Amino acid sequence: MNIAVPKETLTGETRVAIVPDQVRALSEKNGWSFFVQAGAGVGSGYSDDDYQEAGATIFPDAKAVYDKGDITFHVQVPTVDQIGLLTAGSALICMLWPMQNPDLVNALASQKITSFAMDKVPRITRAQSMDILSAMSTVSGYKAVLLASTELLKFCPMLMTAAGTIRPAKALILGAGVAGLMGIGTARRLGCVVEAFDVRPATKEQVESLGAKFVEFAVEDSEDAGGYAKALDQDQQQKQLELIHEHIKDADMVITTALIPGRKAPVLVTDAMLQDMKPGSVVVDLAAIQGGNCEGAQPDQTVVKHGVKILGPTNLPATVPFHASQMLSKVFTTLLAELSNEEGLEVNLENEVTVGCMITHQGEIVHERTRESMGLPPLSKPESEPEPEASGESASPASA
């Protein structure tokens, strides 16, 4: 099986889909061949020589790499032009966000590409090691706190010096998912006093185990089948905002991480809250790319409102590319192992992972929720085709 790894072209993207150690291990174990575009790993700290020593073949341009690939790995969503370079009948594994990118989905179907969206891998126990969203959220939560600490006008830890005692900074983390929990741990390691808020009572134990205070907000049935927070009704939303407002007044840094699958990010930090925050405070909004949890947040910009800095980074994992690429590499290759057998790619419709993340196959758009979002009728199934054990959709990650 030949695997193509082109260089990412999106501005600011420094990660690579597979690292040399994984190339070496999988070449020796499975006999897979890797074809890597020159410079693909440089931004992550991996040279072309590193890949060659691991057994990969280096090609100078993307077209040559695409031509060799039975399967192509992409970190970012490919462009229509890049899809046009793929060999008809080959496979693509990448971040795709299919319901947001219908033109790309149509292009993949027209090119007869079998495509798998990493962002649609079902959120089930046995697929945890294939969950790219959780892996990258770990990086984002860590880096968000570091970013806030560099913008803050204060020290994070308590210091007792000859010049007096410095009180520790106070951090408020909104959302206790993967990013939020990593943010809590990082803020605590920096010496901050940390509070965390989440509508899901089940997260309390995790928050407290990291040394943070859990801000209580009791809501029944607050978690969906995929483990994400459900949207609140109007009355619940108002009570939630009042509680956050009460706690945000004392915060020096706020990290917002709240996302709802398939919907605009909920507003958790209002303009009125910003007015009551201390001048020089910092908000890092990890949901800025989906509308933002903080009013006024702008993707990849720093905005100052009422003396508060609001940062809206959209690709923090690319700022820690060495380890982020190691994590990506493991996720990509674990998913590929799930989707293949000794002979190569295996499209097994009884495998809930396959069904959950396969978007196009044999010239058809086969992902049911994607078809629905594009206004297409459901696919009819041949009578001889067995029903899949589970659709995977009820447990799929945020489609954003």
- pLDDT in the model for residue 218: 67
* Under-50 pLDDT residues of the chain: 382-400
- pLDDT in the model for residue 386: 45
Q: Which residues pair with 93 in a beta bridge?
A: 73, 116
Q: What's at 148, amino acid-wise?
A: A
First-residue to last-residue Cα distance in the chain = 32
Contact 120, 357 (CB under 8 A): yes
Domains of the chain, first to last: 2-120+322-395 (3.40.50.720), 138-314 (3.40.50.720)
Residue with tokens 């032009």: 81
The model's pTM is: 0.87
- pLDDT in the model for residue 259: 82
Half-sphere exposure of 64 (CA within 13 A, CB side): 9
Distance in angstroms (rounded) separating the CA atoms of residues 53 and 63: 23
Task: Return phi, psi of residue 2, to 5°.
Answer: -100, 130
- pLDDT in the model for residue 230: 60
pLDDT tens digits along 159-178: 999 998 999 999 999 999 99
Pair type for strands 170-174 and 358-361: unpaired
Q: Structure tokens of 328?
A: 């990506």
The residues assigned a catalytic role are 123, 128, 131, 134, 228
